[in-house]
Structure 1
Amino acid sequence: MELQDELAEVVSADLARLGFGRRSNSWYRAGKYVYAVVSLQRSSWDSSVYVNVGLSPVEQANRGWLPESKCQVRFRADAIRSVSPAGLALLSEAGLSSAGHEDWQERVRRDLIDPLVQILERVVDLESLGQIVRSELSAKVMVHRDIRAALHLEGD
């Protein structure tokens, strides 16, 4: 099984518990105020996989779907401050092969997916999204100019 498929297996269970549906290598949820999507993307440079996250006002989702690339707040897992470099290293073939299958799954869940899930659980509206962008994500976050004021990020 390829790394992306292995990662999808781990991601699926945790995001399904939060009410996310699946579409190919993306998981999405249209909440009352905020739409969220998590996508897995193979690297063009090596054998690693990126975990991409997109968030937008729910009105932007067309019939419950909006690709991550069209979301107004976008980031990768490496922008989550609570995700360690060791957690990110698990997103490579070397990380997978250095650990046993079950050990790798447990470490990915603990070091990468759990911090992501904790953020997604708390994004319920634009105010909570703004708080998380300001306090729990690094500067590696793309925030579209149209949503900056609603997230209270005008001066950032």
Structure 2
Amino acid sequence: MEKEAQLPKKQNVPRLVLIAVILVALMIGGGTIGSLITTGKAKEWITSFNKKEVETILVPQAEFLVNLQSNDSSLDDFLKIEMSVETTGEENGTILTEKAAIVRDAIISVLRNKSTANIFDESEGVLVIKQEIILKINQSLGSEVASDLYITNIVMQ
């Protein structure tokens, strides 16, 4: 019995501190998760992990030299333009390359209907002609192959 009296009593303070730290960490974590769920950021965060990097491919097009519509039949207005079509995935890049004649025809059909007055029309800071060409390419190919268009050179006379 004397030995028991000589041994110091175990202190419960470290155990209480540990429990308090765990409870505080759980409260902070729960509050953070709760706020993420209520603001919708948790869904964005989860979907960002599921997104795959989409490979974009630029398919350059040969130079186009096209007569533009003219109000005066004596003037010969023309447009010389070079561009690249952006697509996603190698399969779509192959489609653009293999069906180059269809793509060229779609681009020429859009350009031929333009005049010097409306070739540089913009909507929301983007050339309208770009959206028209993308739409026409996708219609001609029957699927959403072209995602963007980059004009690399343009001369109009």
**TM-score tier after normalising by the smaller chain length:** under 0.3
Higher-Rg member (1/2): 2
